Structure 1
Amino acid sequence: MRAAVVTAGEFEVTELPTPLPGSGQVLIEVTRCGICGSDLHARTHADEMADLALATGYEHFMRRDQSVVLGHEFSGTVVEYGPDCHKRWKTGTPVVALPIVRQRKQPQLVGLSSAAPGGYAEHVVVQESMTMPIPNGLAGAHAALTEPMAVAWHAVRMGRVGKKRPAFVIGCGPIGLGVISMLRAAGVRTIVASDSSLHRRDLAAACGADIVVDPAITSPWDAVQDKGRPHSLTSILDLGFDAMERLRRLPHLPWWYFFRLMREMNAGPAGPVIFECVGVPGIIDQIITAAPPLSRVVVVGVCMETDHFHPAMAINKEIELRFALGYDPGEFRDTLHMLAEGKIDPAPLITGTVGLDGVANAFTILANPQWHAKILVDPHSSAITPL
């Protein structure tokens, strides 16, 4: 089979043996495979990513000197089964799969491990238990976005926004656009998106952002006038005074019961939910410094460098800081069905398609993210530049 193989940061399209599915595995023919930000990082910073993975307990992440077929956002069709499979679907059935397999009882990340070649190829091996049929005739190009959109869905679920609570998305690259799409699908009423790129701001509006700002001109925090939420430490203190003055007018009511009830119902004052989707040093500190008090910050952007922020500022504002990674199989399945049922439109994210011979060029283009969001790889296309 033909595949785009990266070694020491350089791509070469070459012929490889078609992989054989092992026990409990399925060989699929790749229809489309997305180029992910993790792939861009892995091409040039594989050793740093491998060291980080090792420190957190995963020892099989690719190294820079290894030859690897990248690609973990793919759709395809069933070709054949390995031993010990249930053979749930007929040959030719369109499917997607979580990009993880077991090799010699060890988990391997498909497309990010030398032991599990990914989707920048004509074929890829997946685990049958992690494979799902594509419903409702969903196009393979759109189904390939199940994986990155599942990442966004996981982040939105971690944010626990609620329909009436405003959400801010800082950074409108592919993951930020995915978060915006999922916030809209979740019914969030006010979505503010911020990015310095005009093209990305246009994509954010297409994905469902209500308000889109250029942070060089307008602060995202000034884009929504919400008088019912605290905007400073002083306003929080004033809320306490106002509440106590009202409650003390009711002499027979134990006023402390009110506060207990508010805590139990999680109904006290709250700030917005903010999704950090940039992933460069300094952004978390900027958000903590500028965001309203009682905000919940969900960090989705992957910063590969050491970063700093001021804990005292976060403490004074009672900022809640969360970090999101990946998704679970249920979230992956739910995302696939939201795509297939039309609850999410992934079309604005897809800005180009290349063949295997165009993968290196696509990586170069994506290094400057002004014009493209998600470029897909079609192993059967001859396109060198994104079409």
Structure 2
Amino acid sequence: MRAATVTKGEFEVRELPEPTPGPGQLVVNVLRCGICGSDLHARLHCDELAELAAATGYRHFMRSEQSVVMGHEFSGAVADYGPGTRRRWKPGTPVVALPILRSGREPQLTGLSVHAPGGYAEQVLVQESMTFEVPNGLSAEHAALTEPMAVGWHAVRRGRVGRGQTAFVIGCGPIGLAVISMLKASGVRLVIASDFSPRRRELAAACGADVVVDPAVDSPWTASPKKSRITGAADVLNLGFDAMERLRRLPNIPWWYVFRLAHTLNKGPAGPVIFECVGVPGILDQLLTAAPPMSRIVVVGVCMESDRIHPATAINKEIELRFVLGYDPGEFRDTLHMIADGKVDPSPLITGTVGLDGIDAAYTALASPDRHAKILIDPSGTATAP
């Protein structure tokens, strides 16, 4: 089969043996595969990423001297089964799968490990237990976006945004756009998006952002049409005074019971939920400085370098920092059905398609935010530029 391998940062389209499925695995003919931001990082900085992965307990991340078939955002059709499978679907059935394999008790990240070649190829191995049939005649292009949209859905779920809360999305690359789409799908009424790139701001609006801000011109924190009662520490203290003055006027009602009830129900003053989707050093400290008190910051952008923050700033504002990664199988399945049922439209993210011979050009194009968001690979295609 034809596949694109990367070695020391250089891509080469080669003929490789067709994959042989192991126990519990099946072969999928790849129809589309997306290029992820983590792919862009891994191409040139995989040795650093491998050290980070090893420090957290995963020892098989790709290394620069290895020849690796990347790609973990894929859709395809069932081709063949390995031993010990239930053969759930007929050959040709459209499917998507979580990009992870397992041999014994050893997991491998598809497209990011030499032991689990990915979707920049005509075929890919998947685990039957982690595979899902594509419903409702969903196109291969949209099905391939299940994986990155599931990242957005996981972040939104973990963010626990109330429908009446304001959500800020800082950075409108593919993951920021996925977060915006999923916030609107979950019913959040006010989503404010911020990005320096005019193209990304255009895509943010297409994904449903209610307010789109160029941070070089305006502050996202003052762009909300819904003015918050809490903009600084003095507002928090005054809320305490106001509450106590009202409660003290109530006869024969122990005022502290009201506070206990609020604590039990987790109710009370709250700031917005802010999704950090940039992933560069310094952005986290900027958000801690600028964010209103009692905000929740959900860190979705993956910063590959060391960073510094001022904890006292977060403490004084009682800001919650929450870090998120990936998704679980239930979130992946639900994302697939949200797309297939029309609850989420991933089409604004797709800005180009190339064949295997166009991968290098696609990576070059994705280095600039001015045109592209998500470029798909069609292994049977001939396009050499997105």
Q: Which amino acid aligns with 2:222?
A: D
Distance in 2 (CA, whole Å) between partners of 1:237 and 1:63 is 53
Distance in 2 (CA, whole Å) between partners of 1:62 and 1:104 is 20
Aligned to 1:88: 88
Distance in 1 (CA, whole Å) between partners of 2:264 and 2:48 is 43
Say if 1:73 and 1:147, in contact at 8 Å, map to a contact too: yes
Say if 1:165 and 1:273, in contact at 8 Å, map to a contact too: yes
Which stretch has the larger CA shift, 303-312 or 225-234? 225-234
Aligned to 2:364: 364
For the structure 1 residues 286 and 110, does the alpha-carbon distance in structure 2 shift closer, same or farther, using more than 3 Å as the test?
same
Say if 1:229 and 1:270, in contact at 8 Å, map to a contact too: no
Aligned to 1:136: 136
Q: Which amino acid aligns with 1:36?
A: C
Query: C-alpha displacement at 1:228, in angstroms?
Result: 4.7
Query: C-alpha displacement at 1:365, in angstroms?
Result: 1.0
Which residues of structure 2 form unaligned runs of 5+? none
Distance in 2 (CA, whole Å) between partners of 1:281 and 1:6 is 27
Say if 2:199 and 2:369, in contact at 8 Å, map to a contact too: no
Query: C-alpha displacement at 1:105, in angstroms?
Result: 3.3
- What is the CA deviation profile of residues 247-269 of structure 1, one whole-angstrom value per residue up to 9, with x for unaligned ones? 11113110001111111111100
Which residues of structure 1 form unaligned runs of 5+? none
Say if 1:150 and 1:332, in contact at 8 Å, map to a contact too: yes
Aligned to 2:116: 116
Q: Secondary structure at the residue paired with 1:215?
A: coil
Distance in 1 (CA, whole Å) between partners of 2:226 and 2:102 is 50
**1:36 maps onto 2:36 in alignment:** yes
Distance in 1 (CA, whole Å) between partners of 2:371 and 2:278 is 16
Query: C-alpha displacement at 1:226, in angstroms?
Result: 3.5
Distance in 1 (CA, whole Å) between partners of 2:227 and 2:362 is 46
Distance in 2 (CA, whole Å) between partners of 1:6 and 1:293 is 46
Q: What percentage of aligned pairs have identical amino acids?
A: 71
Distance in 1 (CA, whole Å) between partners of 2:281 and 2:91 is 47
Aligned to 2:101: 101
TM-score of the two chains, using structure 2 as the length reference: 0.99
- What is the CA deviation profile of residues 196-243 of structure 1, one whole-angstrom value per residue up to 9, with x for unaligned ones? 000000000000000000001100000114445311100000000000
Aligned to 1:47: 47
Number of residues paired by the alignment?
386
Q: Which amino acid aligns with 2:29?
A: E
Structure 1's consecutive aligned runs of 4 or more residues displaced over 6 angstroms after TM superposition are none
TM-score of the two chains, using structure 1 as the length reference: 0.99
Q: CA RMSD in A?
A: 0.7
- What is the CA deviation profile of residues 18-56 of structure 1, one whole-angstrom value per residue up to 9, with x for unaligned ones? 110111100000000000001001000100100000000
- What is the CA deviation profile of residues 289-312 of structure 1, one whole-angstrom value per residue up to 9, with x for unaligned ones? 001000000000010000111000
Q: Secondary structure at the residue paired with 1:179?
A: helix
**1:276 maps onto 2:276 in alignment:** yes
Aligned to 2:267: 267
